[in-house]
Amino acid sequence: MEIQVLVAAMNQKDYSLLDKMNIKTDVIVGNQCDENAVSNFEYNGHTVKWLSFCERGVGLNRNNALMRASSDILLFADEDVVYYEDYDTIIKEAFEKYPEADGFIFNINTIGSRAGRINRKVKRLRWYNSLNYAMPRLAVKRASILRENMHFSLLFGGGTTYSCGEDTIFIQDCIKKGLKLYTYPVCIADVEQEKSTWFNGFTEKYFYDKGALMASLSKKHAKFLCFLLLLKNRKKFGVKFFKAYKLMKKGIKGFQSLTAYGG
């Protein structure tokens, strides 16, 4: 069982990112920058594919790496991830212990920000309990991804029309297509989140984009999902409930108009 990390990065000038992230497996780095070049080399006994492309959009970046992936298990990452020494062993043990699983959501220690959702036990993910997991927590069987023709949205995420959400959409699509994803209560990495490439506070665009995200997840229940999100996070958001809800409804309408005309 071989593991391959697919890294979405930007403006890397050299290969030092591999040391910074503590890469211990094969890896594909998608480096969005100002040149087009592809390099293949060995790093500490592992294969590296370094893709430098003059383009923008995290979904496009992840798709570029995904199309070139070749290992049994794929692990998604951003450049701010620092893996633990035994991350590969932890991931292999999870798949060996639960061979029926298509993928796992692992824990990640968040530095410089409020702690993310923590897994306490192994539990099957459903659409209603999988809306707030980031891609670096997911490891998935490549065969399952290929079988279901999975890919990342080009409309959501940094560098696209809507500032975030490509990870939520991807995980939701996995579940909709029947992949068996489970939470796993072991930490595999630290993530530095003192700065964000997309989050600038709870602005009008934040709520507009969240509305568009909910519309992409469910045509029928988008408004209800927005209502639940605001209700659950009303203290954290620190804005007037119905003002934010109005912005989210605008986002729903905007997304529906966009997709109605084929994007």
Sequential DSSP letters for 111-136: ESS-------S-EE--GGG-SS--GG
pLDDT higher than threshold 70 for residue 136: yes
Is residue 197 assigned to a domain? no
Quick check: is 198 in a domain?
Answer: no
Instruction: Give the pLDDT confidence score for residue 231 in this predicted structure.
Output: 83
| pLDDT score for 195 | 61
* Position 82 pLDDT exceeds 80: yes
Same domain, 170 and 246: no
The values of phi and psi at residue 10, to 5°, are -140, 140
Mean pLDDT to the nearest integer, 12-19: 96
Residues 172 and 217 occupy one common structural domain: no
Answer yes or no: do 229 and 118 share one domain.
no
Question: Can you count the helices (H) and strands (E) in the chain?
Answer: 8, 10
In a domain, 247, yes or no: yes
Please indicate, yes or no, whether residues 105 and 158 belong to a single structural domain of this protein.
Answer: yes
Same domain, yes or no: 219 and 123 = no
Q: How confident is the model at residue 261 (pLDDT cuts 50, 70, 90)?
A: low
Task: Report the sign of the C-alpha dihedral through residues 191, 135, 56, 37, in that order.
Answer: positive
* 128 found inside a domain: yes
What is residue 77's predicted lDDT score, i.e. its pLDDT?
96
Measuring CA to CA, how many Å separate 117 from each of 22, 86, 114, 197? 23, 22, 10, 21
Residue 86 lies in a domain: yes
Question: 206 pLDDT exceeds 70?
Answer: yes
**The domain that contains 71 carries what CATH number?**
3.90.550.10
- The verdict on 65 and 125 lying in the same domain is yes
Do 133 and 220 have their domain in common? no
CB 193 within 8 A of CB 95: no
Kindly state the average pLDDT of the residues 70-96. Answer: 96
DSSP 14: S
Model confidence at 258, pLDDT cuts 50, 70, 90, reads: confident
SS3 for 179-200 is: CCEEEEEEEEEEEECCCCCCCC
Q: What is the mean pLDDT of the chain?
A: 90
| Inside any domain, residue 84 | yes
pLDDT band, very low/low/confident/very high, at 262 (cuts 50, 70, 90): low
The residue out of 140, 164, 192 marking a domain boundary is: 192
Q: Evaluate whether residue 218 is within a structural domain.
A: yes
What's the predicted TM-score (pTM) here? 0.89
Residue 65 is part of which domain span? 3-192
Kindly state the average pLDDT of the residues 190-203: 70
Confidence of residue 129 (pLDDT cuts 50, 70, 90): confident
Domain boundary among 192, 220, 249: 192
pLDDT digits (tens, 9 = 90+) for 172-189: 999 999 999 999 999 999
Mean pLDDT over residues 186-210, rounded?
80
- Considering the domain boundaries, does residue 241 fall inside one? yes
Specify the number of domains making up the chain: 2
**C-alpha to C-alpha distances, 247 to 100, 132, 174, 241, nearest whole angstrom:** 42, 20, 28, 10
Same domain, yes or no, for 165 and 254? no
d(CA 11, CA 190): 21
**For residue 98, is pLDDT > 90?**
yes
Together in a domain, 86 and 211? no
Judgement on whether residues 99 and 9 belong to the same structural domain of the protein = yes
Q: Are residues 111 and 80 both part of a single domain?
A: yes
pLDDT tier, 130 (very low <50, low <70, confident <90, very high otherwise): confident
Confidence band, pLDDT 50/70/90 cuts, at residue 208: very high
Same domain, yes or no: 249 and 186 = no
Residue 236 has pLDDT above 90, yes or no: no
**Domain boundary, last residue among 134, 162, 192:** 192
